[in-house]
Structure 1
Amino acid sequence: MEEEVFFQLFVGEERFEYRYRLPENYLSVEGGMGFVEKKSDADPQNYLVYVNQLDVLLVDVDGHCTISPSSNACFFANFIFAPQAGTKQNTGIVSFLVGNYVLNKQRTNDPAMDVFFEVEVTRTSQEQRLMEGSFRGKLFTRIPSGRIPETTPRMDVHGSFRVGMIGNPGELNLPKNNRLLQTR
């Protein structure tokens, strides 16, 4: 595996992506901070990590990015799935926010909530502490405020990722909440 992490999403013909290279010493940096993209102290810190003890993929990109489809897209997502190789259906998604698309189970009025994600873990490297995979599912078109009505269209999406793996949620001193959620 290259020592680079990324998160990529396709919504129809639109491509959203964010990637960054890990520093050479990322494995020796304490507290899981080797996986965090370093910016100046005033900027939000970006991270693409999988927390083993919680079985959760945390994606938070809010610094030096854009909500437009591009190779420099802003993301916020929480996927819940086991780290073993193979496909996991009906993956738990707490929330997903990118560009003009959103999924937030707590904010929908649809009791059936037929939105799902399927994740496939294709490769892991314990030595490099990296995980690769792909996913597919559905997102809602974004509603600026309030609850998402059940009539809101759903878009088929798919994507791929390579993320850092940390062993314990306490190992990663996550940065404060990024501005992306505060502006949505």
Structure 2
Amino acid sequence: MPAAAHPRTDPIQTPRLVLSPVGSEDVDDLVLLYADPRVASWTGPWTPTSVAAWTHEMAARWTTDGVGKWMARNRADGSLVGRGGFTRFDLAGEAVLELGWVIRDALTGRGYATEVGRAALAWADEHEAGTPVVAFTEVHNHASRAVMRRLGMRPARLIRREGLIEGRPGLHPDAPFALYRAS
């Protein structure tokens, strides 16, 4: 009999999606996601090697941090929609969960980011009650800022991304980012 999954890493089902922790089996789908021209316009270029390293790190974070990113797949056919979830980090001395999402370009504008975000906030309420949840994006990323507002998050301040997140610096690490907080 297989061992029971840990409640923190059980798949989450939403009306249209299944969210499951990123694992090594997801490298090919994540290479596809980060090769999407619209995704790359926000995240910068990714190589298959950098995607594999990121995937390994995200899979390990579920064990080391108790949180991580999920793959978002269509419930009906299992196709890739995107990824989303949390990164635990220190924001100017405050331990927070950063909520983020990436949706395939062909599927943007259909509410998937909001659906991922709502599921993530519900998960945080159950498993990380009391830990502040934040999200941030480039100030000119109006679509992501609209998702944050739909999730009930409120603008807090402008921040500089540099030094906040390990790994990929993004396209403009010194650019101001709009920081939002969950209520």
**TM-score scaled to structure 1, two decimals?**
0.31
More helix per residue: 2
More strand per residue: 1
**TM-score scaled to structure 2, two decimals?**
0.31
Structure of higher RCO (CA pairs closer than 8 Å, 6+ residues apart): 1
